[in-house]
A and B are shown apart, each in its own frame.
Chain A
Amino acid sequence: MQEEILTEQSARVNIYALISRILMNEIDEELLELILKDENILSFFPNFQKWDKRKSMSNKDLIERYLNVDFTNLFLLHLVPYESFYMREDQMMETGGENPVQKLYNDFDFRVELDQARVMAGDHIGVELEFMFKLCEAEYRALEDGAYEVASEIAEIEYNFLKEHLVEWAPMFLLNVKSEAGTALYFDAADLALEFILSDFEYLSKLKKSDFKHLAVEESK
Chain B
Amino acid sequence: MYLQSRRTFLKGAAFSVAGVAIAKGVFATDAVAESVTNSKFTNTPDSISFYPDQAEWDSFKELDGTDWKRGGIERHGVRSAENPDGIQVNDYTIVPTVCSNCEAGCGLTAWVDKETMTVRKYMGNPLHTGSRGRNCAKGYAVLSQMYDPDRIPFPLKRAPGSKRGEGKWIRTTWDEAMAEIGKKMHDTLKVGDEISKKSIMYHVGRPNENGFGHRVPHTMGLDGYDSHTNICSAGARQGTIQWANDDRNSPDWANAKLIFLQSSHAADAGHYFQQSAGLIADARKRGAKMVVIDPRMSNSAGMADLWIPAWPGTETALYLYLANRVLHEQDLNGEDLVNHEFFKEWVNWDRLMANREYIEKHMLGNGYISKMPKDDSYESFIEMIKELYSPYTKEYVTKECKLEGMEHKLDALWEMYIDAGDKIATYLWRAGPIGHRGGWMITRAGFLTLALRGALRGDIGGTSFHHWHEISVGGKGDKATVAGERPPKVDVWNEIAWPPEYPISSYEMSHIMPHLLMDEEWQQKWIKKGLKVPQKLAVWMPRMYNPVWINPDGFRWIEALKREDKIEMSFNLSPTWSETNWYCDYILPVGLAGERNDQQSTPSKPEQRIEFRQAVLRVAAEKMGWKAKDPARATLEAHMKYGLGEIWEESEFWANIMVHHIDPDGSLGIRKYWASKKDPSRAVTVPEYFDAAMSLLPRLKETATKMYPTEEFPVYAYMRDHGAWTEKTNVYKPQEEELKVDANYVYAHGKKYPKHEVKKDKFGALWVEHDGREHSIGLVKDDKILAGFHTRSKKLEFFSEWFAEWKWPEYAIPVYPRNEKELKKMEHVVTQVHHTMMKGDNEFALNTVFRLPYNIHTRSVNSKHLMEISQNHNPVWIYTKDAEKLGIKRGDAIRVNVTDTVSGLDSGYFVGMAVPTEATRPGVLACSHHAGRWKLKDAVNIPGFEHALGIMGVGAPRYDMTNDGKIGTLKPAEGIQKRHAGHNLWQFKEFNKDLDNIWWDGLSGAWQNAVAPSHPDPIAGNHAWHLKVVIEKAQPSDKIGDIYVNYENNFKVYQAWRDQLTRPLDHNDTERRPWFIKRPAVPLSKKAYEVHIKA
Cβ–Cβ contact A40 & B15, under 8 A = yes
Q: A96-B44, A97-B42 are in contact. Are A113 and B22 (CB under 8 A)?
A: no
Please report which residues of chain B, range 27-51, place their CB below 8 angstroms from some CB of chain A when the two chains form the complex.
27-30, 32-33, 42-44
User: What CA separation (Å) do A102 and B75 show in the bound complex?
Assistant: 10
- A interface SS class: helix
Cβ–Cβ contact B29 & A109, under 8 A = yes
The minimal Cβ–Cβ distance linking A110 to chain B, given in whole angstroms, is 5
The minimal Cβ–Cβ distance linking B74 to chain A, given in whole angstroms, is 5
Q: Does A217 contact B (CB under 8 A)?
A: no
Cβ–Cβ contact B15 & A41, under 8 A = yes
Q: A18-B22, A105-B27, A199-B4 are in contact. Are A97 and B43 (CB under 8 A)?
A: yes
Q: Does B70 contact A (CB under 8 A)?
A: yes
The minimal Cβ–Cβ distance linking A171 to chain B, given in whole angstroms, is 12
Q: Mark B1-39, 1 if CB is under 8 A from A, else 0.
A: 001101001111111111111111111111011000000
User: What CA separation (Å) do A137 and B12 show in the bound complex?
Assistant: 14
Cβ–Cβ contact A112 & B27, under 8 A = yes
Interface size bracket, B side: 35 or more
The minimal Cβ–Cβ distance linking B897 to chain A, given in whole angstroms, is 52
Cβ–Cβ contact B11 & A24, under 8 A = no
Q: Does A56 contact B (CB under 8 A)?
A: no
Cβ–Cβ contact A111 & B32, under 8 A = yes
Q: How many A-B residue pairs have CB under 8 A?
A: 135
User: What CA separation (Å) do A23 and B16 show in the bound complex?
Assistant: 20
Q: A17-B20, A21-B23 are in contact. Are A113 and B28 (CB under 8 A)?
A: yes
User: What CA separation (Å) do A126 and B22 show in the bound complex?
Assistant: 13
Cβ–Cβ contact A11 & B9, under 8 A = yes
User: What CA separation (Å) do A130 and B26 show in the bound complex?
Assistant: 8
Contacts of B12 in A (CB 8 A): 10-15, 18, 40, 44
Q: Does A86 contact B (CB under 8 A)?
A: no
Q: Does A29 contact B (CB under 8 A)?
A: no
Cβ–Cβ contact B74 & A102, under 8 A = yes
Cβ–Cβ contact A203 & B6, under 8 A = yes
User: What CA separation (Å) do A21 and B17 show in the bound complex?
Assistant: 14
The minimal Cβ–Cβ distance linking B149 to chain A, given in whole angstroms, is 31
Contacts of A116 in B (CB 8 A): 24-26
- Count how many chain A residues have C-beta atoms less than 8 Å from C-beta atoms of the other chain: 52
Q: A14-B19, A34-B22 are in contact. Are A97 and B72 (CB under 8 A)?
A: yes
Q: Does A71 contact B (CB under 8 A)?
A: no
Q: Mark A1-38, 1 if CB is under 8 A from B, else 0.
A: 00000011011111111101100110000010010011
User: What CA separation (Å) do A158 and B25 show in the bound complex?
Assistant: 18
- A7, A34, A105, A115: the one contacting B17 at CB < 8 Å is A34
Q: Does A164 contact B (CB under 8 A)?
A: no
Which of A14, A17, A200 has its CB near the most chain B CB atoms (within 10 A)? A14
The minimal Cβ–Cβ distance linking A54 to chain B, given in whole angstroms, is 19
Contacts of A21 in B (CB 8 A): 22-24
Cβ–Cβ contact B72 & A96, under 8 A = yes
User: What CA separation (Å) do A31 and B28 show in the bound complex?
Assistant: 22
Contacts of B72 in A (CB 8 A): 96-97
Q: Does B73 contact A (CB under 8 A)?
A: yes
Q: Does A58 contact B (CB under 8 A)?
A: no
Which of B20, B22, B25, B30 has its CB near the most chain A CB atoms (within 10 A)? B22
Cβ–Cβ contact B74 & A106, under 8 A = yes
Which of B12, B25, B32, B44 has its CB near the most chain A CB atoms (within 10 A)? B12
Please report which residues of chain A, range 26-75, place their CB below 8 angstroms from some CB of chain B when the two chains form the complex.
31, 34, 37-38, 40-41, 43-44
Q: Does B71 contact A (CB under 8 A)?
A: yes
Q: Mark B486-518, 1 if CB is under 8 A from A, else 0.
A: 000000000000000000000000000000000
Contacts of B42 in A (CB 8 A): 97
- A8, A17, A114, A117: the one contacting B22 at CB < 8 Å is A17
The minimal Cβ–Cβ distance linking A23 to chain B, given in whole angstroms, is 10
Cβ–Cβ contact B22 & A14, under 8 A = yes
Q: Does A198 contact B (CB under 8 A)?
A: yes
Cβ–Cβ contact A112 & B9, under 8 A = no
User: What CA separation (Å) do A31 and B32 show in the bound complex?
Assistant: 32
The minimal Cβ–Cβ distance linking A107 to chain B, given in whole angstroms, is 11
Cβ–Cβ contact A37 & B44, under 8 A = no
Contacts of B11 in A (CB 8 A): 11, 40, 43-44
What is the chain B residue whose CB lies nearest that of A140? Answer: B19
Cβ–Cβ contact B27 & A16, under 8 A = no
Q: Does A134 contact B (CB under 8 A)?
A: yes
Q: Does A149 contact B (CB under 8 A)?
A: no
The minimal Cβ–Cβ distance linking A137 to chain B, given in whole angstroms, is 7
Q: Does A218 contact B (CB under 8 A)?
A: no
Q: Can you offer 6 A-B residue contacts whose CB atoms are under 8 A?
A: A11-B12, A20-B24, A38-B15, A112-B26, A130-B25, A196-B9
Which A residues have a C-beta under 8 Å from some C-beta of B? 7-8, 10-18, 20-21, 24-25, 31, 34, 37-38, 40-41, 43-44, 96-98, 102, 105-106, 109-117, 126-127, 130-131, 133-134, 137, 195-196, 198-200, 202-203
Which B residues have a C-beta under 8 Å from some C-beta of A? 3-4, 6, 9-30, 32-33, 42-44, 70-75
Nearest 4 A/B pairs, CB to CB: A97-B43, A17-B19, A11-B12, A11-B13
